[in-house]
A = this chain, B = another copy of it.
Amino acid sequence: MAIVRYINNPIITRHDVKPSRNDFEVIGVFNPGAVMFDGEYILLLRVAEKPVNDDPSYHVVCYYDEAKNNIEFIRIKKDHNKVYDPRVINHENGNYLTSISHFRIARSKDGYNFTIDDKPTIKPSNIYEAYGIEDARITEIDGVYYINYCSASSLGITTSLALTKDFINFKKEGIIFCPDNKDVAIFPEKINGKYYALHRPSCSNFGKPEMWIAESPDLLCWGNHRKLAGLRDNSWDSGRIGAGAVPFRTLYGWVEIYHGATVDDRYYLGVMLLDLNKPWVVLARSETPLVTPEAPYESEGFLGNVVFSCGVVAEGENIKLYYGAADESVACIDLKLSDILENINISV
């Protein structure tokens, strides 16, 4: 199988997105949730911005202050002897992210050429979202679009839920997975009377960054947490794994496009096939990645060697895989279901 990337990748770059404020610049647009709505492809883009800063001797970081309902700025003197993580500044008052993310809608008739809203669709609005909201996954159930997303703050990394019926009005429903937890993907239907979600707890003590599954009566409260799949030594998914796209139903099982990274943070996409009636049972899993970061826009960028998907649009045999490349832009790959099944050694 040869994965063929869309010829005009990346399909969206930071230059295509207007900043949300005059004193911000867009540094990345990536990891979109994806869904069909009203005959259009909809992407819910993660737009990462940072304060415009002309003084190279300082970092300027910012966060949302709920009490003031405003963005606050902090100037931190740079130590030129220090090597900084491009994503996080460790400061005496705590850790800050170098950027703050919100969600922006992009619409397309063909799935490749998108028109991007000028203004944010969903913004940080509470103390749990002070450092931004990230990595939306969209699950449609009975005409309601459930959007789960990661929020970051000094209180930890949590996953929250919002919903919409029209992609105009959105309602936030609070935190569904407490810190630290991210990479949540909700299944698009009840299975034996219960909702299911993949999730990725981060443990401070014994555990590893692995994939778990939980169940729910109402999409708001989650329990019966079980480990679904672990790291694999000496593999492309030896360092961390987590759900990627929202799972979709096939005759063979639920197809989950997940991300795995090596211990030195090279991110790949792979496939897990989960039992249709017992989604906590892994039927098959990629030995070799489905997508390896090797295109120039994947291997170089804000965070090089990263491919990371939050959503696919599956229409019968045709799957449009949307993904963030190098934490900087959005790319697309057209796949046949047979390509995906071949990767996990299932012959159709």
Interface residues, chain A, with chain B CB atoms under 8 Å away: 94-95, 127-128, 131, 152-158, 174-181, 199, 201-207, 210, 212, 214-218, 220-227
Q: Is the CB of A179 within 8 A of B203?
A: yes
- Which chain B residues lie closer than 8 Å to A95 at the CB level? 205-206
Residues of B within 8 A of A225 (CB): 158, 174-178
Contacts of A214 in B (CB 8 A): 178, 221
Cβ distance A154 to chain B, nearest Cβ, rounded Å: 5
Whether the pair B155, A180 counts as a contact (CB closer than 8 A) is no
A sample of 18 inter-chain contacts (CB < 8 A) reads: A95-B205, A127-B227, A155-B206, A156-B205, A174-B226, A175-B225, A175-B226, A176-B223, A176-B225, A177-B225, A178-B201, A179-B203, A179-B207, A180-B201, A180-B203, A203-B204, A204-B204, A217-B218
- A126: nearest chain-B partner, CB-CB: B226
A311 to chain B, nearest CB (A): 23
Docked pose: A199 CA to B181 CA in angstroms: 15
Q: Which residues of B contact A154 (CB under 8 A)?
A: 206-207
Q: Is the CB of A217 within 8 A of B227?
A: no
Q: Given A174-B225, A180-B207, A203-B204, 4 other A-B contacts at CB below 8 A? A: A155-B207, A156-B203, A176-B223, A220-B224
Contact of A217 among B131, B153, B158, B221 (CB under 8 A): B221
What are the 4 closest A-B residue pairs judged by CB atoms, nearest first? A156-B207, A221-B223, A221-B221, A178-B225
Q: Which residues of B contact A157 (CB under 8 A)?
A: 203, 205-207
A202/B205 contact (C-beta < 8 A), A178-B181, A212-B178, A221-B221 known: yes
CA distance A176 to B222 in the complex (A): 8
A223 touches B226 (CB 8 A): no
From B152, B156, B174, B224, contact of A175 by CB (8 A) = B224
A217 cross-chain contacts in B, Cβ below 8 A: 217-218, 221
Contact of A201 with B179 at beta-carbon distance under 8 Å, contacts A155-B206, A207-B154 already known: yes
Residue of A153, A176, A178 ringed by the most chain B CB atoms within 10 A: A178
Contact B204 A174 (CB under 8 A): no
Residues of B within 8 A of A215 (CB): 221
Task: From known contacts A205-B95, A206-B152, A206-B157, infer whether A199 and B178 are also in contact, taking CB-CB under 8 Å.
Answer: yes
Pairwise interchain contact A204-B202, C-beta atoms closer than 8 A? yes
Task: Decide: B175 and A204 in contact? CB cutoff 8 A.
Answer: no
A298 to B179, CA, bound (A): 32
Find the B residue at minimum CB distance from A173. B224
Cα of A226 to Cα of B174 in the assembled complex, Å: 8
B-chain residues with CB within 8 Å of residue A176 when the two chains form the complex = 223, 225
Closest to A202 in B: B204
For A216, the chain B residues whose CB sits under 8 A away are 221, 223
Once bound together, how far apart are the Cα atoms of A174 and B226, in whole Å? 8
Residue of chain B at shortest CB distance from A195: B221
Cβ–Cβ < 8 Å partners of A203 in chain B: 156-157, 179-180, 202, 204
* Residues of chain B lying within 8 A (CB to CB) of residue A226: 174-175
Q: Which residue of B lies closest to A174 (CB)?
A: B224
**Which B residues are CB-close (under 8 A) to A177?**
178, 225
- Report the separation of the CA atoms of residues A12 and B221 in the bound assembly, to the nearest whole angstrom: 39
CA of A225 to CA of B128, assembled, Å: 10
Is A223 touching B174 in the complex (CB atoms < 8 A)? yes
Interface centre among A95, A152, A174, by most B CB within 10 Å? A174
